[in-house]
């Protein structure tokens, strides 16, 4: 299997695990982060109170983010191989933040969501880059077995 397909397969496994663990996890979702975050929050308004109580947060990447899965030659860096990059947004779901229902927010709980995302991506054999801040996306930079 080529690297791009392997990364996509591992991403799908990681997102399935995030859903299993109580997160809303969407892949290649809508055009941009603003639209995706708004739509996820809107969709969550339809959740029952019980389901809202079990929702731990949201993780997602958009079609714009997925463009980072297109290979880019990095011969100028001397590696001689293609590299990939995908940014995954995350946040807690704040159902009381807006009059119209919910929004994806950052904060202390968002850092916990980011850590859970990095952990699941690692379990699925993906390398990540993240500075631990709730205000930056988690970046998938390749397969765990890639040598830098």
Range 11-22 average pLDDT: 96
Q: Residue 146 has what pLDDT?
A: 64
Cα atoms in the Cβ-side hemisphere of radius 13 Å centred on 139: 12
Q: Inform me whether the pLDDT recorded for 139 exceeds 90.
A: yes
How much is the mean pLDDT over the chain? 81
pTM of the model: 0.83
- Locate the domains of the chain by residue range: 3-143
Q: What is the pLDDT of residues 82-137, one digit of tens each?
A: 567 899 999 887 666 555 544 555 555 789 999 999 999 999 999 999 999 988 99
């Amino acid at each position: 299997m080529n690297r791009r397909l392997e990364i996509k397969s591992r991403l799908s496994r990681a997102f399935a695990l995030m859903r299993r663990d109580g997160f809303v996890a969407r892949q290649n979702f809508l055009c941009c982060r603003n639209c995706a975050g708004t739509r996820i929050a809107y969709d969550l308004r339809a959740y029952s109170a019980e389901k809202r109580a079990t929702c731990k947060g949201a993780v997602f990447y958009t079609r714009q983010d997925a463009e980072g899965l297109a290979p880019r030659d990095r011969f100028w860096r001397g590696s001689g191989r293609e590299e990939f990059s995908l940014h995954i947004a995350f946040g807690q779901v704040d159902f009381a933040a807006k009059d119209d229902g919910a929004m994806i927010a950052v904060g202390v709980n968002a850092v916990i969501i980011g850590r859970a995302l990095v952990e699941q991506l690692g379990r699925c054999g993906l390398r990540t880059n993240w500075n631990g801040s709730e205000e930056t996306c988690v970046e998938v930079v390749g397969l765990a077995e890639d040598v830098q």
